[in-house]
Amino acid sequence: MIVIKRYEPQKEEILSAGIDIGTSTTKIVISKFSLMNMAGGMHMPRIEIINTEVLHRSPIYRTPLLSTTTIDMKAVETLVEKEYSQAGIEPNDIQTGAVIITGETATKQNAQEMVHYLSEHAGEFLVATAGPDLEGIIAAKGSGAYEYSKKSGKVMANIDIGGGTANVAVYKSGKLCGTCTLHIGGRLIEFNGNHIQSVSPPIKKLFQQWGTTVREGDSRHLPEIKKLTDYMAAVIARMLKGELLVSDHPLLLGHEPNWQDEIETIMFSGGISECIYKYETLSAGGAHYDDIGELLAASLRESQELSSWTWVKPEETVRATVLGAGTQTTEISGATIHAESNDLPIRNLPVYQVRLGHELQEGIMKMSEAVKNAMDIYDPQREGQNFALYISEIPYLGFRDVQALAASILESMQLKPNRKQPLVIVLESDHAKVLGQTIKVQNPSQSIICIDQIRVEHGDYIDIGHLLQTSVVPVVIKTLTFHH
């Protein structure tokens, strides 16, 4: 009798951590990813994250600061250790995830030092990200806005408002249409008792523009403060329509709204959303803040302009960014890759894009120039900073074509000051295994990591994790920009 063995799809589980250090609050989430080969037994493996389970959510802590310009790194580390202990895990149990410095915290003197410090101390493979556009994207995934747009097909704007910034990400049918960030948040004016304790620079600039003087020490009950929060709500409405006025520009952080589609539905997440929806119970970090957060939430609720859109309730309010960080920043590479496990993990590798333009010979001619340009950008002192080449617009490749491309990459890499570094190549199309193996045959001493099915952009940074049992690697794509 012939026994036909039933195909059992490969499965694996990995742990992820998300740590969000925001203007007002710090929170931590631990999640479990289930990975599975979604292709049948006779097909090319395709490993995907099929399920995410949140194992542990920290309380909402007040962000520890040493001063108005410095994060208390030791206190943040103590919070992280405490929450890991509560969750019953060790740092080296963590295989992926993100540390995100959000909002005004990204302007602190030691913001960059903080994320790199936590990357080293909080897990075997934990990454650092910041940058207002990325914050908006991650929050939209944590709040449920991304999924809502995917299921409904509607154009959905997620407005994540915390202590210092409103990060907006617009999605249509699960595709990103654009982003925008505003200086709008609860802690832009803080109180001490019945008096104003601090007014942030963008708000001072706005008051100047209005010919109004609001200073530290003034009464917290000044009518100008409610006028300000009403104005913030109106600015959000104009931003959603892509109709910001020149007079709104003190509240714009970075670029103007850059989406083309007309927004149909909106969702609010972040600490100000918590003031609207009250999802959270009182937490260990305390829930009362002496700032304009409650007033801003009231202005949003009362705004005639904002009522013209359909409001969809978020799945998460104040925890949207941290859940997005812990569960949505990781991508899984293709299963047919070439990676040497002793070279992994790799952190904070800048990406330089080489477009072959669907013409192999022309593309090969560009390779040396591309490597030289990458070194000029990422390693100007020729100190040996490694980088990844992202090769896109690849034409159909036959056997000889793959050999020619491999040879041109190896020749170009001779320009690098440190040739012992792993050669890291990211491909848009499914050629990683054959290209990696061909390079290895042509130069057996060259250490190589060649991965595919990952979409990155010129100027992104990537982290590549340990090789998993399913023969894939987790890859985190991020933007390490600290706004000033």
The tens digit of pLDDT for each residue in 2-32 reads 444 444 556 889 898 989 998 889 999 999 9
Output the DSSP codes for 139-173: HHHHHTHHHHHHHH--EEEEEEE-SS-EEEEEEET
114 within some domain: yes
Q: Are residues 387 and 403 in the same domain?
A: yes
What does the alpha-carbon distance between residue 280 and residue 329 come to, in Å, rounded to a whole number?
Answer: 24
> Would residue 483 count as lying in a domain?
no
Total of domains in the chain = 3
Residues 392-413 pLDDT 10s? 999 999 999 999 999 999 999 9
Contacts of 81 (CB under 8 A, 6+ apart): none
Q: Where do we find the tokens 């249509």?
A: 172
Model pLDDT, residue 123: 80
Question: Range of 444's domain?
Answer: 333-475
Give me the pLDDT at residue 205, please.
95
**What is the pLDDT, as a whole number, of residue 180?**
95
pLDDT digit string, tens, across residues 258-296: 999 999 999 999 999 999 998 886 544 444 668 999 999
Task: With beta carbons less than 8 A apart as the criterion, state whether 156 and 170 touch.
Answer: yes
Domain with residue 49: its CATH number is 3.30.420.40
Closest CA to 390 of 335, 475, 459: 459
Reported as a pLDDT band with limits 50, 70 and 90, residue 133 is: confident
Judge if 198 and 251 occupy the same domain: yes
**Would residue 372 count as lying in a domain?**
yes
For residues 164 and 104, the answer to whether their CB atoms sit within 8 Å is yes
Average pLDDT over residues 251-260: 93
- Is the pLDDT higher at 364 or at 116? 364
Distance of CA 259 to the CA centre of its chain: 19
- Spatial distance between the Cα atoms of 431 and 450, rounded to a whole number of angstroms: 9
- CATH number of the domain within which 197 lies: 3.30.420
Encode pLDDT of 52-88 as tens digits: 889 999 999 999 999 988 999 999 999 999 999 999 9
Average pLDDT over residues 239-250: 97
Tell me: pLDDT of 380 over 90: no
Do 354 and 386 share a domain, yes or no? yes
- How many secondary structure helices (H) and strands (E) does the chain include? 12, 23
- Asked whether the predicted pLDDT for residue 158 surpasses 80, the reply is yes
Mean pLDDT score of the chain, rounded to an integer?
89
Whether the predicted pLDDT of 131 surpasses 80: no
Band (pLDDT 50/70/90 cuts) for residue 120 is: confident
Asked if 212 and 103 sit in the same domain, the reply is no
Which residues are within 8 A (CB) of 126 and not within 5 positions of it... i.e. 6 or more apart? 17, 19, 94, 96, 97, 98, 99, 118, 119
Map tokens 């408002």 to a residue.
Answer: 161
> Is residue 3 in some structural domain?
no
Per-residue pLDDT tens for 344-365? 988 888 899 999 999 999 999 9
Q: Do 61 and 124 have their domain in common?
A: yes
pLDDT at 308 over 60: yes
Is the same domain home to 362 and 375?
Answer: yes
Q: Both 93 and 162 in a single domain? A: no
How far is residue 191's CA from residue 198's CA, in Å, rounded to a whole number? 7
Dist CA 331 CA 85 (whole Å): 27
Quick one: which of 482, 422, 484 has its CA closest to 135?
482
| 391 burial via Cβ count (<10 Å: 0-12, 13-18, 19+) | buried
Share of the chain above pLDDT 70, in %: 93
| 379: in domain | yes
Average pLDDT over residues 300-306: 97
What is the length of the chain? 484
Confidence (pLDDT) at 428: 82
pLDDT(134) > 90: no
pLDDT of 40 strictly over 70? no
Same domain, 434 and 377: yes
Which range, 37-46, 196-205, 331-340, 450-459, is most confident?
A: 196-205
Per-residue confidence (pLDDT) for residue 472, from 0 to 100: 87
| Structure-token pair, residue 99 | 């540390």
Query: CA torsion 87→89→94→98, rounded to 10°?
Result: 30
Q: Residue 288: what pLDDT?
A: 60
Residue 245: pLDDT over 90: yes
Please name which of 32, 26, 12, 10 lies closest in space to residue 96, comparing C-alpha atoms.
Answer: 32
Same domain, 408 and 310: no
Q: Which of 253, 286, 318 is the last residue of a domain?
A: 318
357 and 396 belong to one structural domain: yes
Closest CA to 416 of 440, 388, 435, 438: 388
Q: How far is CA 277 from CA 21, 190, 274, 386, in A?
A: 22, 22, 5, 46
For the entire predicted model, the pTM comes to: 0.80
- What CA–CA distance (Å, rounded) separates 214 from 285? 30
Of 456, 396, 399, 397, whose CA–CA distance to 424 is shortest? 456
Q: What distances in angstroms separate CA 16 from CA 251, 317, 380, one per listed residue?
A: 35, 20, 35
Give the C-alpha separation, 259 to 136, whole Å: 14
Averaged over 120-133, what is the pLDDT? 76
Mean pLDDT of 381-391: 91
pLDDT of residue 65: 93
Whether residues 243 and 353 fall in one domain = no
Where among 283, 318, 353 does a domain terminate?
318
Domain membership flag for residue 82: yes
One domain, residues 45 and 155: no
2 within domain boundaries: no
- Please give the full DSSP string across 313-340, using - where no structure is assigned: --S-STTHHHHHHHHHSEEE--SS-EE-
pLDDT of the residue at 334: 83
- Could you tell me where the beta strands, DSSP code E, fall in 203-345? 265-269, 310-311, 330-332, 338-339
Is residue 364 within 8 Å of residue 404, measured between CB atoms? yes
Q: What percent of the chain has pLDDT over 90?
A: 59
